[in-house]
Amino acid sequence: MTSIANQIPIAEGLFTWPSNDPRLLGSKCNNCGVVTFPAQAGCPACCGEDTANIEMERRGTLWTWTIQGFLPNRPPYDGPETAETFKPFAVGYIELPNQVRVQSRIKCDDLDQLKIGMEMDLVVEKYVERDGKDIIAYFFEPAGQR
């Protein structure tokens, strides 16, 4: 098992890390109530600049999804797959209650089980290894899969 010292988030400010209860980090406009992810200093709806950082819900529902059936171009994609190891994976939008829809890669043992409206849980775990460090990213998976 890799120590926390050898783990770094894929980008700063996307989620709490390290954490036993990781959360995506967004913002909420104090003027109009619009929630954004990732967090923004200004509101895209009312152009207000009075926003507060918030921790997002961990559970949401699958709003829509698709299957990535081929290895994406490198760059910009830097996933762990190679042409030899690639397996199709799901990408979708997860609707977090009273917040926002988040685009995410979906971790799922059986892609045929994915259904619009099903409950999904946030997971934060190793995505790739780079320069001897584990790069940690966020994903969603069907609720109760673990």
Write the pLDDT tens digit of every residue in 49-86.
999 999 999 999 999 999 999 998 887 788 888 889 99
Contact between 81 and 71 (Cβ < 8 Å):
yes
CA–chain centroid gap for 59, Å, is 12
| 2 pLDDT tier (thresholds 50, 70, 90) | low
Q: How many CA atoms lie within 13 A of 112 on its CB side?
A: 0
Which candidate, 63, 81, 60, 28, places its Cα nearest to that of 143? 60
CB atoms within 10 A of CB 18: 11
CA distances 9 to 100, 127, 138, Å, are: 22, 9, 9
- How much is the pTM? 0.89
Residue 1 has pLDDT above 60, yes or no: no
What's the mean pLDDT in 37-48? Answer: 96
The 10s digit of each residue's pLDDT in 95-143 is: 999 999 999 999 998 999 999 999 999 999 999 888 889 999 999 999 9
- Per-residue pLDDT at 115: 97
For the chain, the first-to-last Cα distance in angstroms comes to 18
Domain boundaries in the chain? 58-142
Give the Cα separation of 28 and 32 in Å (integer). 9
